[in-house]
Amino acid sequence: MAYPAHVDRPRTIIEPFRIHAVEPIRITTREERAAALKEVGWNLFSIHADDVLIDLLTDSGTGAMSRDQWAAIQHGDESYAGSPSWYAFLESVQVLWPFPHVIPTHQGRAAEKILFSVIGGPGKVIPNNTHFDTTRANVEFSGAEAVDLVIAEGHDPAALHPFKGNVDLAALEALLEERAADIPVVFVTITNNSGGGQPVSLENLRAVRAVCDRFEKPLFLDACRFAENAWFIKSREPGQADRSIPDIVREIASLADGMTMSAKKDGLANIGGWLAMRDDRLAEQCRNLLILTEGFPTYGGLAGRDLEAIAQGLREVVDEDYLRYRIRSTAYLGEALDAAGVPLVKPFGGHAVYLDARTLLPHVPALEYPGQALAVALYLEGGIRGCEIGTVMFGRHPDGSETPAAMDLVRLAIPRRTYTQSHIDYVIEVVTAVAARAADLRGYRIVDEPPALRHFTARFEPLS
């Protein structure tokens, strides 16, 4: 849809939808929030969601579905094998990602588990720009090593680079020179979630493809936020402005041999994912595992109605009005916090704004978890739930050692089509107030943690 002439270049990018059904949110008192924190060992994943006012924990599966998605759900066909909903899903996926093999899974990590069970294992190395936590965990669980090779700017929260998710090509080549025999696949995550939701350029993807060709390695994408990445390519990369989003996505697909996907992001669905690839033999091995853990290959871990919601979501997510609003509304939050002097990862990511807790809390050492301290303070102050992406999430290693993560961030992830501008204005108010008294915040220690993915269930205690 084109804007009418007088609003062709509007200053305010409005939500391109009206609200059709509402969900109440509950305002709690500071005392209630303090008690809730104590009860759950200061782990925000364990807070009852009814006690959260603005939930920016994740953009994964938390978005609002459209009228047309809810209508599509009514078409869900629950046939065990060969459901029409499977064919609707398959067609929608292959319009954008024409891989011959599409394997539905209940979410992204199930696709990762299956893939790395087949191609991972002890002695193997998987390069990526930055592995997401579940990707790293699944690589490591298989016994393989996960290596992050994002460009140097990707480690510097303040560095301005239009494609901070790009792969460091020299580092990738050096790793392949040294260990080619141990590398079953090269991965690239679009957008680079753990590195600040930063996009990868088409130019970089083409160059990674050329390196993979030289070493005869397959290239796989962790494509959770592919539409947001394509929007950044369209708006930032020279020569791409006149292309349609589906066209850019199809070129990205043409550069890859396969993908893992969480449909909870740019599938605009509440659940779902898939694994796709060109290689027949690899697909057969993956389908064999799928049947053991997820289900029959025409539904994977999903109900027919979920397949329908994803099929419709994929049609909506490439709409330019949606993407313009999506990226602009995230930047709105970032720009306001930046103007208030809050240190942030810049440029702003597509799905989230990342607060630089290490810079904001220089008096809290990384091993006392500045990101955790900031995330807890935001909840206590205003009922806002963000997510630590730092030393709690990435500091513990398979050998039991603990080191500071590359950055200590708090991610404020924006659920898709869910909150309005006034909700975001409130978030700006609360973050600014907490930042103003950052010097008073203290670190945490972990009193209980599981062997992997500790951030989900660890219990903390505030340090005095």
Ligand X SMILES: Cc1ncc(COP(=O)(O)O)c(C=O)c1O
Give the nearest residue (CB) to ligand X. Answer: 108
Min separation Cβ 33 and ligand X, Å: 25
Q: Which is nearer to ligand X, 259 or 378 (CB)?
A: 259
69 or 193: CB nearest ligand X: 193
Q: Are 405 and 390 in contact (CB under 8 A)?
A: yes
Closest approach of ligand X to the CB of residue 191, in Å: 8
Binding residues among 340-379 for ligand X as defined by CB under 6 A: none
> Contact region for ligand X (CB under 6 A) — 34-42, 130-138, 175-183, 316-324?
130-138
For residue 185, give the nearest of 155, 222, 132 by alpha carbon.
222
Q: Cβ closer to ligand X: 189 or 198?
A: 189
Q: What Cα–Cα distance (Å) separates residue 159 from each residue in 152, 153, 372, 407, 414?
A: 9, 6, 23, 13, 23
Question: Which one, 37 or 407, has the nearer CB to ligand X?
Answer: 407
Q: Identify which of residues 264 and 385 has a Cβ nearer to ligand X in the complex.
A: 264
- Indicate which single residue of 128, 189, 270, 330 sits in contact with ligand X (rule: CB under 6 A): 189
DSSP 8-state code for residue 260: E
Return the residues of window 208-237 that contact ligand X according to CB under 6 A.
222, 224
- Smallest separation, CB 111 to ligand X (Å): 8
Asked if 148 interacts with ligand X (CB under 6 A), we say no
Q: What is the C-alpha separation between 355 and 378, in angstroms, rounded? A: 11
* Residue list 429-448, contact with ligand X (CB under 6 A): none
- Does 134 sit near ligand X (CB under 6 A)? yes
Among the listed residues 66, 69, 92, 107, the single contact to ligand X using CB under 6 A: 107
User: Any contact of residue 130 with ligand X (CB under 6 A)?
Assistant: no
Peptide bond between residue 135 and the one before it cis (omega within 30 degrees of 0): no
Q: Residue 444: left (phi > 0), alpha (psi -120 to 50), or beta?
A: beta
Q: How far is the CB of 248 from ligand X (least distance, A)?
A: 19
Q: Please state, in angstroms and as integers, the Cα–Cα distance from residue 412 to each residue in 68, 124, 345, 348, following that order.
A: 28, 34, 11, 11
User: Where in 260-319 is the site for ligand X (CB under 6 A)?
Assistant: 262, 264, 273
DSSP 352: E
From the list 96-104, 129-137, 340-348, 452-460, the region that binds ligand X by CB under 6 A is 129-137
Stretch 50-79: interaction string toward ligand X, x if CB under 6 A: ----------x-------------------
Which structure tokens are listed for 17?
Answer: 């939808």
347 prior amide bond cis, ω within 30: yes
Which residues have CB under 8 Å from 376's CB, separation 6+?
37, 42, 44, 444, 462
Which amino acid belongs to residue 262?
S
388 phi and psi, to 5 degrees?
-65, 130
Cα end-to-end distance, the chain, whole Å = 56
Among residues 43, 193, 298, 372, the one that binds ligand X under rule CB under 6 A: 193
Taking CB under 6 A as the binding criterion, the range among 128-136, 164-172, 209-217, 368-376 that sits at the site for ligand X is 128-136
Which span (131-139, 162-170, 201-209, 422-430) binds ligand X, by CB under 6 A?
A: 131-139
- Beta-strand runs (E) in 293-404: 352-356, 384-385, 387-389
Residues that bind ligand X (CB under 6 A): 60, 107-109, 132, 134-135, 189, 193, 222, 224, 262, 264, 273
